[in-house]
Structure formats: structure tokens, C-alpha cells
């Protein structure tokens, strides 16, 4: 039984394996040739690995910058990390998590087959994280294991079709009608950003982040990866200057901190370039392969994919979101300090993935101004939600971290509110 649970967890949690398996099933359903089936399956697998390695490059570069920023501005508090709290939860709830994730996927497929919500959620790592959240929160109610698994799986299954469905109008606007959806559980934050862009922004056709007009001598700024590298270098050098060369040397070694900061800025760009390469490969292979599932297994099925899949449609917005979301996190930091709430440390990794995606949503509805305001307010919203959720997990023995994304925080707060009403919290 433990071996089966381990295999199920590994398949679901490894997005590259899960999506390659889906691609394989789709190509077989289309009766594609052996050569086409193997090529499509392996290129989908490779595309996800490439995207993952790009994410690893970004993570490896932003983690030291986060530490330097904390030293520079004397920041202390809680860092929300999905993977950290999921790992902690797995020690006590690992079996429940695995079954919730597995049956949640089954319910997702059934809902896609028999309802108008045709989305199949393929961000497996997020499925595992939601399974961890539901396993922990439902255990508060004193339910038997079967009850925790059943309710948790229903929640995961419904969320797997509902969140792609409500974000799809924005995704169509961003992509121009591409046949994939967003499968990332910060969806409420992205939708919030999209509406903010619509309210406060301008005509996106005229003021898009991708149509910035610059003097000829600044033409190189039109290259998004160059703009990102220079932007992150500026942020890096400011943080290094305030932290001091002695502290920066813990990461830079004998390299002068200005040179190190420059390299880090363009390592960020390199990571983004790798992510975009992986995304293009995934979309080129998975979407056509998915037609086999759409035609034979789940009619009109639409794959819901991780947030970097929208990055290729508005690369300049990523940098706008990175900066705007970071500012928003600092505003939330100040609010928490002033009100005595749990202080959430600004996290630059979230600024990249969540902030970049939030800006892309807001850019599609309100152009540059929408992207700035939308990503900033989404940074405030997400960190305030994290602050509200943290005491619940601290009370359950999960000290030091909390879940990082808006959807996790909202579901967690709903469960905790119900527990309070029933007197079991």
C-alpha cells in the first residue's frame, strides 16, 4: 500500500510526469503513429523540465537577494512557502494527502466529462499543496480518515475546474484565444488584478506594456530579457548597498558586489529565457496532443496549466509585475506592523511568479497603468491574506510559515471560520 501511495504521489506531484502522461494518452486516443506518440510525449516532458530548470535558476538567484533585502532593511517576520508547510504536513497527514490528490484528480476528470466545466487541472504540485491544506484543516473537525479524504477530494476536484473557468475570460484576452487555461491556485489574486486593471487602467490596445515607446538610443530596452536584467540589477545593487559588502560577501565570495549584482540581474534574465523556451515547447506539443482527450475521453477538454504559460504573451509585464507586487508586499508589511498582525516578509519569488502573472492579467484589461496598480494591490491582498491565515496554522502546530497563494489562503480561512462557528477550532 505504501508503495502505491508513493507512486501516486510522485506521479501527481511531478508536473512533468503527469503532463507527459496526459500527452501520451491524448496521442494514443488520436491513434497517432508510434513515432509521433513518442516524440510528442517526450517533448512535452522535456518542455516541462526546461521550464522547471528555468524556475530553479530564478529561485537560486532570488533566494540570496531575499536574504540581502532582509538584512538591508532589517526585516523580520514569517515567510510563506507552500513547499515548506506541505512538507511539514506530510509528516502527519501524508496518506490522507495522497488519497485526496488522487481522488481529487478523478473528480476533476468526472466533472470535466459530465458538466460544462471542461478543464483538466495539470499543475500537479498545486494539487498536492491543496491536498495538504484540506487534510490539515479537515482534521480539525475530528472527522474519520475516510471523511477527510472524501471532503478533501471534493474540494480539490471542484477547485480544479472552477478556478480555470473563472479566469478563462481573462486568459482568452491575454492569449488571443489559445486553447489552454490557467491552472494555478493564486487565481483569485489574478482575477482581482484583472478587475483592478479594468477599473484604473487605460485602453490596453493603446497602452500595453508591450507597446512602450522609447527613444532610438534606448531601443535595446525593447528586448524584455535585457529590460529585466537591468531592472533586477538596479534592485540588487540598492539592496547590496544597504546590506553592506561584508554581508553580501557571504553570497558573492571574492567577487566585487557590483559585478556580482550585475551577474545576478542577468542570471534572472537567463532564467526567464529558459522558462519561455520550455513554455513554447509545451504549448507546441501538449495542446495538439490534448485534442485526443478532448475528442475521445472528455469532449472539448481544455488543459489548465501553470502560470508561466502566459509569460510569452506579455514579457514586459513580468518586470512591471515584479516591481509592483514587491512594493505591494512592503505596503502590506507596513500595515501588519502598524496593526499588530502577523508580519509577512516580502518574498521576491512570489513577486516574479504571482506578480508577473497579476500584471499580465491587469495589462490585458488596463494596459501599463493597470499592470502597475493591479500587481501592486495584488501584492497587498495576498500578503494580508497570508497574515490572516498564519495564526490558524500556528495554533495547529505549524509555526514559522504558511501557505503562500490567494486561493490557499481563502480556502483555509473558510475552513477555519467554519471550525470557529462549530466551536472546534
pLDDT, tens only, 270-320:
999 999 999 999 989 988 888 888 778 899 999 999 999 999 999 999 999
> Does residue 218 have a pLDDT over 70?
no
Q: Are strands 119-121 and 181-182 parallel, antiparallel or unpaired?
A: unpaired
pLDDT score of 179: 80
The mean pLDDT of 216-222, rounded to a whole number, is 59
Q: What percent of the chain has pLDDT over 70?
A: 96
pLDDT score of 11: 77
Q: 162 pLDDT band (50/70/90 cuts)?
A: very high
Q: 85 pLDDT band (50/70/90 cuts)?
A: confident
Question: Which of 47-61, 75-89, 168-182 is predicted least confidently?
Answer: 75-89
3-state class (DSSP) for residue 404: coil
Question: Which of 37-41, 132-136, 421-425 is predicted least confidently?
Answer: 421-425
pLDDT score of 147: 95
pLDDT score of 248: 97
Q: What percent of the chain has pLDDT over 90?
A: 70
User: Whats the size of the chain, residue-wise?
Assistant: 425
Residue 84, number of CB atoms within 10 A of its CB: 16
pLDDT score of 216: 65
> Does residue 411 have a pLDDT over 90?
yes
Angle between helices 187-200 and 406-422 (to 10 degrees): 110
Q: Which residue has the cell 500556528?
A: 394
pLDDT score of 215: 64
Q: Which residue has the cell 540589477?
A: 233
3-state class (DSSP) for residue 106: helix
**Can you tell me the distance from the alpha carbon of 213 to that of 145, in angstroms, rounded to the nearest whole number?**
59
Q: Give, in order, the Cα–Cα distances in Å from 361 to each of 106, 123, 194, 204, 318.
A: 30, 19, 5, 11, 10
Q: 220 pLDDT band (50/70/90 cuts)?
A: low
Q: Which residue has the cell 472528455?
A: 298
The mean pLDDT of 369-391, rounded to a whole number, is 96
Q: Give, in order, the Cα–Cα distances in Å from 419 to each of 86, 100, 165, 374, 389.
A: 21, 20, 28, 33, 13
CB of 28 closer than 8 Å to CB of 294: no
CB of 386 closer than 8 Å to CB of 347: no
Helices (H), 209-314: 224-243, 245-252, 257-296
Q: What is the distance, to the nearest Å, from the Cα of residue 392 to the centroid of all Cα atoms in its chain? A: 22
> Does residue 221 have a pLDDT over 70?
no
> Does residue 344 have a pLDDT over 90?
yes
The mean pLDDT of 39-52, rounded to a whole number, is 94
**Can you tell me the distance from the alpha carbon of 60 to that of 65, in angstroms, rounded to the nearest whole number?**
9
The C-alpha torsion from 183 through 224 and 360 to 56, rounded to 10°, is 30
> Does residue 214 have a pLDDT over 70?
no
pTM value is 0.89
pLDDT score of 396: 80
**Can you tell me the distance from the alpha carbon of 275 to that of 182, in angstroms, rounded to the nearest whole number?**
16
Q: 423 pLDDT band (50/70/90 cuts)?
A: confident
pLDDT score of 219: 56
Amino acid at each position: 500500500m505504501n508503495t502505491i501511495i508513493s507512486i501516486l504521489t510522485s506521479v501527481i506531484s511531478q508536473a512533468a510526469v503527469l503532463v507527459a502522461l496526459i500527452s501520451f494518452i491524448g496521442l494514443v486516443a488520436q491513434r497517432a503513429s508510434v513515432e509521433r506518440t513518442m516524440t510528442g510525449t517526450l517533448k512535452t516532458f522535456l518542455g516541462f523540465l526546461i521550464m522547471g530548470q528555468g524556475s530553479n535558476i530564478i529561485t537560486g538567484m532570488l533566494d540570496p537577494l531575499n536574504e540581502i533585502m532582509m538584512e538591508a532593511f532589517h526585516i523580520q517576520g514569517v515567510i510563506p512557502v507552500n513547499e515548506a508547510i506541505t512538507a511539514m504536513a506530510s509528516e502527519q497527514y501524508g496518506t490522507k494527502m495522497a488519497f485526496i490528490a488522487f481522488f481529487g484528480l478523478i473528480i476533476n476528470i468526472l466533472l470535466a466529462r459530465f458538466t460544462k466545466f471542461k478543464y483538466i487541472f495539470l499543475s500537479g504540485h498545486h494539487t498536492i499543496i491543496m491536498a495538504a491544506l484540506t487534510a490539515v484543516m479537515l482534521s480539525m473537525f475530528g472527522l474519520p480518515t475516510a471523511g477527510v479524504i472524501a471532503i478533501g477530494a471534493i474540494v480539490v476536484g471542484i477547485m480544479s475546474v472552477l478556478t480555470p473557468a473563472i479566469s478563462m475570460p481573462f486568459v482568452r484576452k491575454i492569449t488571443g484565444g489559445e486553447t489552454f487555461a490557467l491552472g494555478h491556485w493564486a487565481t483569485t489574486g489574478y482575477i482581482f488584478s484583472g478587475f483592478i486593471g479594468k477599473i484604473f487602467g487605460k485602453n490596453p490596445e493603446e497602452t500595453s506594456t508591450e507597446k512602450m515607446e522609447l527613444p532610438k538610443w534606448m531601443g535595446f530596452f525593447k528586448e524584455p530579457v535585457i529590460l529585466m536584467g537591468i531592472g533586477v540589477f538596479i534592485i540588487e545593487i540598492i539592496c547590496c548597498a544597504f546590506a553592506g559588502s561584508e554581508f553580501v560577501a557571504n553570497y558573492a565570495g571574492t567577487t566585487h558586489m557590483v559585478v556580482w549584482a550585475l551577474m545576478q540581474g542577468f542570471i534572472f534574465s537567463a532564467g526567464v529565457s529558459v522558462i519561455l523556451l520550455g513554455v513554447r515547447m509545451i504549448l507546441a506539443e501538449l495542446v495538439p496532443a490534448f485534442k485526443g482527450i478532448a475528442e475521445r475521453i472528455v469532449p472539448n477538454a481544455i488543459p489548465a496549466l501553470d502560470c508561466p504559460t502566459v509569460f510569452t504573451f506579455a514579457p514586459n509585464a513580468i518586470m512591471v509585475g515584479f516591481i509592483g507586487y514587491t512594493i505591494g508586499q512592503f505596503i502590506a508589511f507596513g500595515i501588519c506592523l502598524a496593526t499588530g498582525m502577523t508580519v509577512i516578509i516580502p518574498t521576491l519569488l512570489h513577486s516574479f511568479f504571482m506578480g508577473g502573472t497579476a500584471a499580465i492579467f491587469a495589462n490585458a484589461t488596463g494596459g501599463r497603468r493597470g499592470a502597475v496598480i493591479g500587481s501592486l494591490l495584488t501584492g497587498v491582498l495576498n500578503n494580508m491574506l497570508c497574515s490572516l491565515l498564519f495564526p490558524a496554522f500556528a495554533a495547529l502546530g505549524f509555526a514559522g510559515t504558511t501557505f503562500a497563494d490567494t486561493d490557499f489562503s481563502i480556502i483555509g480561512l473558510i475552513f477555519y471560520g467554519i471550525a470557529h462557528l462549530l466551536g472546534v477550532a
